[in-house]
Amino acid sequence: MKLEELKIILKRLYFDYIKIHFYRIIICLILSITVAGTSSSIAWLLDPAVKKIFIEKDQTLAWLIPVAIIMTFATKGLSLYFARLNIAIVGQKISGELQKKIAKSILYSDIQTLDARHSGKYISNIMHDSGQVQHLVSTGVLNLMKDSFSVVFLVSLMFYQNWKLAFFAILMIPLAAGLAKNLGKQIGKATTQASYLAGNLTTFLSDIFQGSKVIRIYQKEKDEELNSKNVINSLVDKKIKIESIMIRATPIMETLTGFMIAGFIFYSGKLINSGELGINNFFSFLAAMMLAYQPIRSLATLNMTVYQGSAAAKRIFSVIDKSILIKNDTNSPKLNVKNSEIEFQEVNFNYESTTEKAINNINFKIEGGKITALVGKSGSGKSTIINLIPRFYDPQNGKILYDSQNIKEVKLDSLRKNISLVSQDVVLFDSTIRNNILYANPSATDKELLLACNYAAADEFIEKLPKKYETMVGENGVKLSGGQKQRISIARAILKKSPVILLDEATSALDNESEKIVQHAINNLIKGKTTLIIAHRLSTIHNAEKILVLEQGKIVGEGNHKYLISNNLKYKSLYESQLK
């Protein structure tokens, strides 16, 4: 990371996140000055202690000076405690704020942006990178203040005791600064690589959890174990490298300190023998020099913490600064719902990963309160059409109208409020059945909840469960069967009471018995609603007023079942292939 980029990141961290906690920073500053003052006081007290107690044998000061030393240490300890407490609060709050912004970015980003990046990378940003920024603030800022003042106070004391020795002692400061600058650049690069590898590990863990059944059925446990070793070993090796860089300064600093103390003792001996330095001044100076060692060492490695935290902040900013392509425009008018008719006018769309059009210049109308079905082979554009209506994606060309209103020109929340989606991939949260259904309408009454479950044919299995509606469904409904999950999804859609229903192959993954139950529930859901169905089994859409036949993103047939079976070879071929 270049210096200019580092400055920009640190400036942004200060103005956007640290500045609002300025009063705590001021408290830490005052307490840091107290810590520095008490540290130098401890070293200074050795001067009168040696002179008055050991040389002059003053009995009064033999009591007073130890008491003063105790009080000084106690003051230092309390000041350091409250300084660390305040800066820890600041660091954790800033970390929490960044985590909230990442979560907000995930929640409000358009689907295409989220699809371009594995969820494991976002989890790494929240769990790993925010912690690095927290460490920068809580450790870096406090050490900068506390250790800087400590060095100033202690070096001042050293000059007070003997300026010649002081000049000799501070020779190590520029040497330590040069060493720190070099190591800081290395730590920044290594930290960036470690974060990338941490994201890979999170991604890998996410994949093996989701693919647990696939791994077992294909007997890939050993392969995935080998993959896990490779991923983890790469991260461990990188972390070892970071730690080695962090402690690389230790032998150099210790050696420098050894030379300094050896030279200091030699030179002090000459000064004491010549009468230029008293034994009391020597002990006070020695204490100040030894106390100054730790803050000088801390400051020498501070820029490593800065590079680590700044590299993490850069990765977080790249997520939260990502422009949201599809968002709610508060200046747009609300959707004015009338008949809930939906019309596609010359709509074209292709995904970012390819230049091939998923749908190509299509035109059709979904009449209000009626059922329209989409049929076609896999990859013909059916799911794309479903995803365009609630604006999960926006078409590159053309318009989609809801009651003659361009859906791009109305408030996004007012559009989605009037649309329900029931998909073959049911998403349930790791909570109770009640909470999963009420997700669509948290203010719904118990009567409305029970009625929705009755219409969805969900009440019959819910009532048989030991905890009924308070039953935990597990991660993504793992404790329920496919048909049970689908019925909960339908009950949720019923409770939303939206005039438009989108069904994306809702019964494709079910057995015949479950399909009959769910199909009955779907019939209750779509009654009197504008409905768009992607049909897996064509036998389920005989009652659709309009069926659109798609092939390679184009509409190649339109009409009801009776008309298409007689006049459209594509539809007839699809239908007959399912009868075999």
Chain segment 337-368, per-residue pLDDT in tens: 999 999 999 999 988 877 888 899 999 999 99
The span from the CA of 489 to the CA of 456, in Å, is 9
Question: Residue 347 is inside which H or E element, if any?
Answer: strand 342-349
Residue type, 111: I
The span from the CA of 420 to the CA of 455, in Å, is 16
Tokens of 311: 């590299």
The answer to whether 190 and 297 have CB atoms below 8 angstroms apart is no
The span from the CA of 47 to the CA of 258, in Å, is 24
Provide the pLDDT for residue 208: 77
The angle at the Cα of 197, spanning 193 to 200, to the nearest 5 degrees, equals: 145
Closest CA to 169 of 49, 287, 51: 287
Residues with Cβ within 8 Å of residue 372, at least 6 apart in sequence: 364, 366, 531, 532, 533, 544, 545, 546, 547, 548
Name residues of the chain where pLDDT drops below 50. none
Provide the pLDDT for residue 184: 59
Sort 576 into a burial class: Cβ within 10 Å, 0-12 / 13-18 / 19+.
Answer: exposed
Q: Which spans in 431-549 are helix H?
A: 433-438, 446-455, 459-462, 482-496, 512-526
Q: Please name every residue paired with 422 in a beta bridge, in sequence order, or none if there are none.
A: 503
Provide the pLDDT for residue 186: 67
Q: How far apart are the first and last CA of the chain?
A: 64
The span from the CA of 125 to the CA of 317, in Å, is 10
Provide the pLDDT for residue 167: 83
Tokens of 318: 């790249």
Give the number of residues written for the chain: 580
Residues 459, 479, 504, 542, Cα dihedral to 10°: -50
CA distances (Å), origin 104, targets 252, 321, 485: 45, 11, 27
The span from the CA of 383 to the CA of 390, in Å, is 12
Q: Which spans in 54-136 are helix H?
A: 61-108, 111-115, 119-124, 130-135
Residues 449, 455, 372, 413, Cα dihedral to 10°: 0
Closest CA to 110 of 387, 401, 499: 387
Of all residues in the chain, what percent are helix, strand and coil, respectively (each to 5)?
A: 65, 10, 25
The span from the CA of 240 to the CA of 235, in Å, is 9
Provide the pLDDT for residue 473: 87
The span from the CA of 319 to the CA of 121, in Å, is 10
Q: Which spans in 109-210 are helix H?
A: 111-115, 119-124, 130-135, 142-161, 163-169, 172-210
Residue type, 461: F
Please give the backbone phi and psi of residue 481, each rounded to the nearest 5 degrees, phi first: -80, 170
Written as one string, the DSSP assignment of 495-552 is: HHT-SEEEEESTTTTS-HHHHHHHHHHHHHHHTTSEEEEE-SSGGGGTT-SEEEEEET
The answer to whether 423 and 506 have CB atoms below 8 angstroms apart is yes
